[in-house]
Amino acid sequence: MSRKIINYLIIMSIFILLGTLFSCASAKTDDDNPKNQPKIELKGNPTTGYSWFYEIEDDSVIQLEEDVKYLGTNKVVGAPSLFTYTVIALKSGTTTVKFEYKRPWEDLSAVDTRIYKISVDDKGKIEISE
């Protein structure tokens, strides 16, 4: 392998590692939000091929709307993005959402996993716990 390719692979590995280390998650509820649609925010680096993928245990209770916002400038590879998932209540109940941070084409384990328990009461109020 040429020296340039090896250097490139090392640099890309560093970007991926940093992206994983600095990836963070939060669940936000906004008391001023009349629709009571809390958000789950996860940082990631889709420019390096990694994205968050989720699985809802019982999709009759909630649905998620995804929005991805690039946080870097000039489409720099390795710059972070913010993945925002808006939780929408469909009926009362409890479910679990599992998020996995991985590259879809690789047959490897996720580099990060987040699991949230989401409860919806009879009035449609949503509560999220990690």
Given a contact cutoff of 8 angstroms between Cβ atoms, the answer to whether 91 and 60 are in contact is: yes
pLDDT tens digits for range 82-97: 999 999 999 999 999 9
CA distance 116 to 97: 5
Rounded average pLDDT over 66-79: 84
Rounded average pLDDT over 51-78: 91
Closest C-alpha to 52, from 85, 8, 15, 100: 100
pLDDT for the residue 27: 54
Question: Where do runs of H (alpha helix) occur along 1-85?
Answer: 3-21
Per-domain residue ranges for the chain? 3-129
111 three-class SS: coil
Task: Check whether 120 has a pLDDT greater than 50.
Answer: yes
Confidence of residue 39 (pLDDT cuts 50, 70, 90): very high
What CATH number should be reported for the domain whose range is 3-129?
A: 2.60.40.2020
Rounded average pLDDT over 9-32: 47
